[in-house]
A and B are shown apart, each in its own frame.
Chain A
């Protein structure tokens, strides 16, 4: 019997409302107790004095690139980066090679994760076969194999009729539909948000309307089908307003925001540096403010990274040739503390919600809380220590981050999965 006792921390568990000094005891992979003055003979003790002890963080949107694109990332390296970012569970998008559009691929990912991943990995299945936007994937069998949602992330379903049918099927299997909302005709050829900076740099723009029209379409389809619809990486002011409206109507509509969409605007882009190239693109300062407002007001349900590794050889090119996407697992908490907590926009409890009960609620995962009997996943972080992100020391196979060299105040200290410490910061303050 293995025991881990986390002592003297400030335990914040949004699910139970607990916020105060307490110890957490994990035995054989499950939470055994949360309370003051816990003791257990033979337990490994983790002294969390001065630190925040939270339920294990969940990142509901990552790209692990395995199978098929292992030169960018593997389940093993992506999971390590997740652990170093304080995440105990990650959900991987299906755009691998082959696409995760059937139970065999789903089972492969789950088995690989069981062998080599430091954190829990939950696959997301494709909506359509090969994510081609036409015939529906084997959604029911993937659900049985272990997927937690469906999405054609990166290759959005353009045909509204197909999306409507997907929502009907998803509802039948009680799965949320996650859409990367982008009208590919409106965004075609674009490299960054359409605005003053794109006009100045002579780069083709991706208008905010390319996101907005799809959010509108999907909300209407969600209403008519009764499906649970989740907007991936929401980035525009209008889209946030529409999600807010949908929630007010009582629809099962949720959304996630990425740290880069609340930390950076298109005015922050270093000209032609592909570490700033992603979809949706960094939008205007107004949109950034709207994302933060959505986080504060509750329109945004989760913070997700959209960790999208690409090797240097692909990012070291002319801007218009580079693939979209940046890594994000290791900087998510630091950015959230900087932009949301230290600015006084939200409390620590709300911040933790966005990483725990928020995504768990969207996906229906029995995680993200410190209740007795729950999986022994814990994220320990501090809010004050100064550190600098060095992308060259990243656990990810890829180094495409715009946050290299950024100074942070507060970040992850230790990551515990099923009672085992899977990552621990070497020294605080490096």
Chain B
């Protein structure tokens, strides 16, 4: 793997497999009464969140702590960013304290990529704007593989505001590397035709029923209220045409699973019944988040310790 983890797009299939395999090793640990290892003892990981986040930030923090690392979490509102410091200066300041990795989330696409070019410290992308959210795709893959033998040949429908979704982009890249059949669905305003060209095996539809037909996996995306500059549909119309309801499940494969990166908006992108549906694996995704992030941090910080960069 390259220095740090900026996105799924640049990873090879073998690298993804290796992370998932290591994540499986960490899965049972989450159930044990004593959950802490000392793999990263003495290491310092900074969580730098310029955007609000509950589950991702907590998940990274727990993952780091279960590996024995020390963590510091910084949010933009309480930091020098709110005093007008530039992103480069903020990162340079943090880098001067020699943490072993910086986990960052930022509202601007490419912010971690830009910093990675100027800083000699591994950066883990915890979500950049509308670009990528690599650990989310990794935990989604792990969650699917908990229930399926392989990703290859699976029909995966991703439904919602695709254009503004970093979760969708990372999942598209990951699933494509494994030969899944990916159907992206949403109104045309958030489903640019160019999406079909960003990876192999991607098709587009504006019809949710067509997207769900024969699907093994249905990934619902959050309506990104904060990123839609001019929302094309009212909330009511959105749910009517692109919300997942229980009756849709009859169109999918009989053992199809429903996923959502959270936080869910009940009644906006999926009905409450679907959220609580027995084949909804939304909480399993959250659970797998810690195992996947342990695998990623171990790989990146461990690599750095071995001088692998």
CB neighbors of A among B74-101 (8 A): 86-88
Of B15-23, B64-72, B110-118, which binds chain A? B110-118
Specify which chain B residues have a CB less than 8 angstroms from the CB of A317 in the assembled complex: 86-88, 114
Residue of A nearest to B164 (CB): A202
* Residue pair B113, A202 in contact (C-beta under 8 Å): no
Bound CA–CA A273/B106 (angstroms): 17
* Residue pair B86, A272 in contact (C-beta under 8 Å): no
Question: Is B131 in the interface zone, CB < 8 Å from A?
Answer: yes
Question: Is A195 in the interface zone, CB < 8 Å from B?
Answer: yes
Interface of A is mostly: loop
Q: Identify the interface centre among A205, A273, A319: most chain B CB within 10 Å of its CB.
A: A319
Contact of A272 among B114, B192, B195 (CB under 8 A): B114
Contact of B229 among A189, A271, A316 (CB under 8 A): A189
Bound CA–CA A195/B229 (angstroms): 19
Specify which chain B residues have a CB less than 8 angstroms from the CB of A195 in the assembled complex: 194
* Residue pair A202, B86 in contact (C-beta under 8 Å): no
Min CB–CB distance B296 → chain A (angstroms): 20
Q: Given contacts A199-B194, A271-B110, A272-B110, are A316 and B88 in contact (CB under 8 A)?
A: yes
Question: Is B166 in the interface zone, CB < 8 Å from A?
Answer: yes
Q: Given contacts A272-B110, A318-B114, A319-B110, are A199 and B86 in contact (CB under 8 A)?
A: no
Min CB–CB distance B114 → chain A (angstroms): 5
Contact of A202 among B88, B114, B117, B130 (CB under 8 A): B130
Question: Is A41 in the interface zone, CB < 8 Å from B?
Answer: no
Contact of A196 among B106, B130, B194 (CB under 8 A): B194
* Residue pair A196, B198 in contact (C-beta under 8 Å): yes
Mask of A108-140 contacts with B, CB within 8 angstroms, 1/0: 000000000000000000000000000000000
Interface of B is mostly: mixed
Question: Is B169 in the interface zone, CB < 8 Å from A?
Answer: yes
Bound CA–CA A202/B173 (angstroms): 13
Contact of A318 among B9, B106, B117, B118 (CB under 8 A): B106
Mask of B138-172 contacts with A, CB within 8 angstroms, 1/0: 00000000000000000000000001001001000
Question: Is B179 in the interface zone, CB < 8 Å from A?
Answer: no
* Residue pair A321, B108 in contact (C-beta under 8 Å): yes
Specify which chain A residues have a CB less than 8 angstroms from the CB of B130 in the assembled complex: 202-204
Bound CA–CA A273/B114 (angstroms): 7
Bound CA–CA A201/B86 (angstroms): 22
Specify which chain A residues have a CB less than 8 angstroms from the CB of B298 in the assembled complex: none
Residue of B nearest to A205 (CB): B192
Min CB–CB distance B4 → chain A (angstroms): 14
Bound CA–CA A202/B172 (angstroms): 13
Bound CA–CA A204/B108 (angstroms): 11
Specify which chain B residues have a CB less than 8 angstroms from the CB of A320 in the assembled complex: 108-109, 129
Question: Is B181 in the interface zone, CB < 8 Å from A?
Answer: no
* Residue pair B229, A318 in contact (C-beta under 8 Å): no
A-B CB contact pairs (8 Å), 29 listed: A188-B229, A189-B229, A196-B197, A196-B198, A198-B194, A199-B192, A199-B195, A200-B9, A200-B194, A202-B109, A202-B110, A202-B129, A202-B131, A202-B132, A203-B110, A204-B130, A271-B113, A272-B111, A272-B114, A273-B114, A316-B88, A317-B87, A318-B87, A318-B106, A318-B110, A319-B108, A319-B109, A319-B110, A320-B109
Interface residues of B (CB under 8 A from A): 9, 86-88, 106, 108-111, 113-114, 117-118, 128-132, 163, 166, 169, 192, 194-195, 197-198, 229
Given contacts A202-B166, A205-B192, A321-B108, 8 further A-B contacts (CB under 8 A): A199-B163, A201-B109, A201-B131, A202-B110, A272-B111, A317-B88, A318-B110, A319-B111
Q: Which 7 residue pairs across A and B have the least CB separation, nearest first?
A: A272-B110, A202-B131, A318-B108, A202-B130, A202-B109, A199-B194, A196-B194
